[in-house]
Amino acid sequence: MRDLREIRQELDQVDREMVRLFEKRMNLALEVAQYKTAHGMPVLDASREEQVLQSREAMLDDSALRADVRALYVQIMALSRGAQERWMKEAADHD
């Protein structure tokens, strides 16, 4: 069995990478907002979100985590939508 300190250090490394990737994902979500604004599209595309959820579930090696990865991505996409809505509102207020 590994030492608890070693496991926690590895968790910290994973979290650093997750935060970096989250920030990158949110920046991409803002690019999506710019595209949607330019093309008069709404923020929410429910069919796309369901497609994303299903594809992320399919990426798992451990199918027992399906509900958890779905819950994770529901939250991530809600945060992305919120950021897109704020960006679109700010863009509209500056026009």
32-68 confidence digits (pLDDT tens): 999 999 999 999 999 999 999 999 999 999 999 999 9
The confidence score (pLDDT) of residue 92 equals 86
**91 — pLDDT class (breaks 50, 70, 90):** confident
Phi then psi dihedrals of residue 61, to 5 deg = -85, -35
DSSP string, 1-43: ---HHHHHHHHHHHHHHHHHHHHHHHHHHHHHHHHHHHTT--S
The confidence score (pLDDT) of residue 18 equals 98
22-32 confidence digits (pLDDT tens): 999 999 999 99
